[in-house]
Structure 1
Amino acid sequence: MVDAGVPNGDEATVLEVVRSGDSARFALLTERHRRELQVHCYRMLANYEDAQDMTQETLLRAWHKRESFQGHAALRTWLYRIATNACLDFLAKRKDRTPVPADPTAAGTEVLYLQPYPDRMLPEDPQDSVVARETIELAFIVAVQHLPPRQRAVFILRDILGWPAPKAADALQLTVASVTSALQRARVTVRAELPGRRLDWRSPATHEVSNDERDVVKSYMTAHERNDLAGLTALLREDLRFAMLPEPGTATTAEDAVDGWVSGGLFQPGYDDWRCVATTVNRMPAAVLYRRVPGDPEYRLFNLAVLHIVDGKIAELTGFDATGKPWLALPQTL
């Protein structure tokens, strides 16, 4: 709902509302930007709950700093600037929000604080949604986390939001030369961290899950419900990357992943009665796994498996503990 007294394009009225001290009109004016700001914070932080908190912090800061809004830049730009700096302040205080060294058996580092992003909370504007898939997929979000915070902010403002260098420099209180240098270094890091088969993040990408992807998800769920280890294994690329967050340890081959599942008791008593539901998060195909244990009449929410599918095979499988996350809006039982 948009108040008739808060039009989208009337700069004078927007300035008047921001500076008026009318909290209700100010909230109506800024609330329409909440979803895109939350996606921005998520790209900065890779954690949905942190992004929620920093979006709320952004809107509070905007209210308290409303006198600083001069109308020279768009309200949206002003809010993005506040959001970016709120995230940088958060990262300066939270040293646990950086990638950690991987398990000795795996290469590189791990982003253990990564959380999935529910598609229902993405921006409603179709154009925003088209941009979102390629730049909100899990592999991309993880790659961005390997950038130092300020370099990360430069990369997101310049290469994702498309801000010119002077605008990004002003937002971050840097020189244009510093922004240009930071962006060049950031691009090298992100390309190095993205799996080799991934497209460049600025190339066109559809935002709908394809029929082929749906078929693979269906087969993945069927394999679980039938306790079909051979069928599950057949869906995996040999170079599968598998992680179950927030637990450490990333498997980098299908063989290692399957060995871990078997040793963990998959398809054994207690882990052999499954029901699954297809969904999407981060504009990616996913399956919600429900488990029933002996003596329990219901299937209870267990894990969320997010799949990156390449040529009909699962190339990346990121599992998340789905319990205790009401923002995913998943039924607790089946």
Structure 2
Amino acid sequence: MSAGTRLKELGVSGLGEVDESTFSGMAQRHRRELHVHCYRMLGSFEDAEDTVQETFLRAWRRRETFEGRSTFRAWLYRIATNACLDLLARCRPEPATGGEVRWLQPYPDRLLDELRAGGADEPETVAVARETIELAYLVAVQHLAPRPRAVLILRDVLGWPAKDVAELLGDSVNSVNSALQRARAGMREHLPAERQDWTGEEMDAGTRDLVRRFTDASVATDIDRLAAMLRDDVRCSMPPTPGLDVGRDAVVNSWIEDGFDQMTGLHAVPTSVNRQPAVAFYHWRERENAYLPLTIDVLRVTGGAITEITIFHDDQFPRLGLPERLPADGTEQFHRPGTR
């Protein structure tokens, strides 16, 4: 139901006549897609959550400015984009550099699925395509300056006309087109070369088998087996911890230096985030008589080899719907979020 239809049913001519409860109900229908939009802009789940809240607050305060020239949804996107740009100017005046994004956080697939549930005829079904939500895309986007970043997402992800983007940013259409060219060039510089070979959302049998073998070798802390699954130019990072290891030797040496090959008592739970396969690892704690959260490894697989590993800390487990502990026998008496 459009905002215009909703207003007619309420017998009012504009948002200025709508009470707070009704306005909130209209806005909340778009919460998930706005959150994903802000997440693309910011790379941080938590910052996106704060920005959506700010968006709804600004929208309520400025409700009388909605004139119906665009859809209510587009009006919210305008406010959300500007809220993101304000946050970036305040907290991250410089884009990411060096291929790593320390503020990067994962996005649970179970929450992305809410967009599908909202209806297949909405533009957000295009916006949540795998290539624009995978971590490699998010990392590349974070290397763009804020305004070209906004132009890229609005034009190439949401499909907005250049005229509408220019109006939102207070620029000319020529300026927007120029910014889009720069942003696309920047993305080509930072995206994996084989991006065109990515295969969509569903994992094929080969990828599932590779993830299973990676999981088994990790639990056994078998460095040699793990190394055999890595491509020569594999990349590994662990935001927010500084550092990016590039190349099989660098990644393996880092694991050995950290003592990974000496670890025991690991247990693994498969999951998925950002439309990518992931494995949540738990570590046995004798004092707790349970397995407790350790890390979440998110994998990018290309051509039958692991090309990127992004490791997140245990503080991300609750957001992903993963349990806080597993019993001594390691059984998994819970729903595995996002498992396909």
TM-score by length of 1: 0.89
Work out whether 1:292 is the aligned partner of 2:284: yes
Q: Secondary structure at the match of 2:241?
A: coil
**Structure 1: gaps of 5 or more residues:** 1-5, 101-107
Deviations, residues 186-211 of structure 1 (Å, cap 9, x unaligned) = 110111110111129xxx96322333
Q: Tell me the CA shift for residue 13 of structure 1.
A: 2.8
The answer on whether the counterparts of 1:17 and 1:26 sit within 8 Å (CA) in structure 2 is no
Identity %: 45
Aligned-partner Cα distance in 2 for 1:18–1:207: 39
What whole-Å deviation, never above 9, does each CA across 1:233-276 have from its counterpart, x for those lacking one?
121111111111111111111111111101101131xx221100
Give the counterpart letter for 1:239 in structure 2.
Answer: D
Q: CA deviation at 1:126?
A: 6.3
Partner SS, residue 111 of structure 1 = coil
Shift of the alpha carbon at 1:293? 3.9
In 1, are the aligned partners of 2:317 and 2:324 still within 8 Å (CA)? Answer: no
The change in CA–CA distance for 1:129 and 1:220 in structure 2 (over 3 A counts) is: farther
> What is the match of residue 239 of structure 1?
233
User: Does the residue aligned with 1:157 lie in a helix, a strand or coil?
Assistant: helix
In 1, are the aligned partners of 2:297 and 2:311 still within 8 Å (CA)?
yes
CA-to-partner distance for each residue in 1:79-100, whole Å, 9 max, x for gaps? 0000000000011110377314
Which is worse superposed, 291-300 or 138-147?
291-300
Q: Say which SS state the counterpart of residue 328 (structure 1) adopts.
A: coil
Which amino acid in structure 2 is aligned with residue 55 of structure 1?
V
In 1: Cα distance, 2:297 partner to 2:125 partner:
22
Structure-2 residue corresponding to 1:90: 87
- Contact 2:14/2:67, CA 8 A, preserved across alignment: no
Which of 149, 164, 168 is the equivalent residue of 1:167?
A: 164
In structure 2, the CA distance between the partners of 1:7 and 1:194, relative to structure 1 (3 Å rule), is closer
* TM-score scaled by length of structure 2: 0.87
Query: Could you tell me which residue of structure 2 aligns to residue 310 of structure 1?
Result: 302
Aligned mates of 1:141, 1:73 — CA distance in 2: 28
Gaps of 5+ in 2: 327-340
Provide, for residues 280-323 of structure 1, a one-character-per-residue CA deviation record: whole Å limited to 9, x for no partner: 10011100011114544211111110000012211110101122
- The more displaced of 123-132 and 6-15 is 6-15
Asked if 1:158 corresponds to 2:150, the answer is: no
Q: Is the 8 A contact 2:271 2:279 kept in 1?
A: yes
**Distance in 2 between the 1:178 and 1:96 partners?**
21
Per-residue deviation at 1:16?
Answer: 4.0
Deviation digits for residues 66-110 of structure 1 (CA, Å, limit 9, x no counterpart): 00000110011100000000000011110377314xxxxxxx342
Q: Is the 8 A contact 2:95 2:146 kept in 1?
A: no
Question: Distance between the aligned counterparts of 1:96 and 1:164, measured in 2?
Answer: 27
* Matched ranges for 1:30-109 at <5 A: 30-95=27-92, 98-100=95-97, 108-109=98-99
The 8 Å contact of residues 11 and 71 in structure 1, kept in 2 or not, is answered as no
For residues 56 and 207 of structure 1, the distance between their equivalents in structure 2, rounded to whole angstroms, comes to 29
Contact 2:293-2:317 at 8 Å conserved across structures: no
For 1:42 and 1:194, locate their aligned partners in 2 and report how far apart those are by CA, in whole Å: 18
Question: RMSD over aligned Cα, in angstroms?
Answer: 2.1
Corresponding residue number in structure 2 for 1:10: 5
Which amino acid in 2 is paired with 1:329? G
State the aligned residue count. 317
Corresponding residue for residue 249 of structure 1: 243
After TM superposition, give the deviation of residue 214 of structure 1 in Å: 1.9
3-state SS of 2:236 partner: strand
- CA distance in structure 2 between the partners assigned to 1:160 and 1:205 by the alignment: 18
- Report the equivalent of 1:26: 23
8 Å CA contact retained: 1:129, 1:207 = no
Task: Look up the SS of the partner of 1:257 in the other structure.
Answer: helix
- Alpha carbons of 1:143 and 1:32: their partners in 2 closer, same or farther (altered >3 Å)? same
Indicate whether 1:260 and 2:257 are aligned. no
Q: Which of 131, 134, 141 is residue 134 of structure 1 equivalent to?
A: 131
Q: Distance in 2 between matches of 1:331 and 1:294?
A: 18
Q: What does the per-residue CA deviation read over 1:123-158, in whole Å, with 9 as the maximum and x for residues that have no partner?
A: 234644564211010010111111110111111111
